[in-house]
Chains A and B, each alone.
Chain A
């Protein structure tokens, strides 16, 4: 049981390039989330999904896209990378949306630098 895995661990992009951050969970969780953490700041929700085929915007969705074709995978797409997207990206999942406590399980993160 690997939990939540993210690839790549690190990436450097040039301005205007595109990339996809991969996220996979093997816990059969319905809910999945993408957060970004800027230096000295808390985590901010980018997008989330309550099940395959269903996604919704979080607090900071601009510049990103997501899809959820399977329960296990929730990739995050950056279409035209900008320096403001330099951050650490965390993927998370929860079984029932945290109906009991809100507990989410996080991956190890992807550190992205856009120059």
Chain B
């Protein structure tokens, strides 16, 4: 049973516009949520995270929003650039120090010039 869901396998946007990637989760025991970016033939790289006690975290062009009541988070990229084209994974960490991450299936973002 998937605890972290990314329901959109792919997303295509124009350069300069906003990209919004969505993620839903089912387990209330998650205490941190993370976004990773992955290029082909490379390992995932950490992008941005948010604690479960916050509702927004911003880092440059990237902003993550968390809606705990809806068990939903989203990653906003503004403005989108062609170099942002990659697969984006949403991940969640169990509270209590287990250090395990649960990953969604990923969303492939394509930013068209």
- A residues sitting closer than 8 Å to B (CB atoms) are 4, 31, 35, 40-45, 48, 50, 58-59, 90, 92, 94, 97-99, 101-109
Whether, in the assembled complex, B19 has its beta carbon less than 8 Å from a beta carbon of chain A, the answer is no
Decide: A97 near B99, CB < 8 A? Known: A40-B105, A42-B89. yes
Contact B49 A104 (CB under 8 A): no
Contact A43 B89 (CB under 8 A): yes
Q: Which residues of B contact A108 (CB under 8 A)?
A: 41-43
Smallest beta-carbon distance A81→chain B, Å: 22
CA distance A98 to B33 in the complex (A): 12
CA distance A115 to B77 in the complex (A): 41
Closest 5 CB pairs of A and B: A106-B43, A42-B103, A102-B93, A97-B99, A101-B49
Contact A58 B44 (CB under 8 A): no
Give B2-13 as 1s and 0s: 1 = Cβ < 8 Å from A's Cβ atoms: 001010010000
Contact A43 B103 (CB under 8 A): yes
Interface pairs (17), CB distance under 8 Å: A4-B43, A42-B89, A42-B102, A43-B91, A43-B101, A45-B101, A90-B43, A92-B43, A98-B93, A98-B99, A99-B97, A101-B34, A102-B101, A103-B34, A103-B46, A106-B44, A108-B43
CA distance A115 to B8 in the complex (A): 32
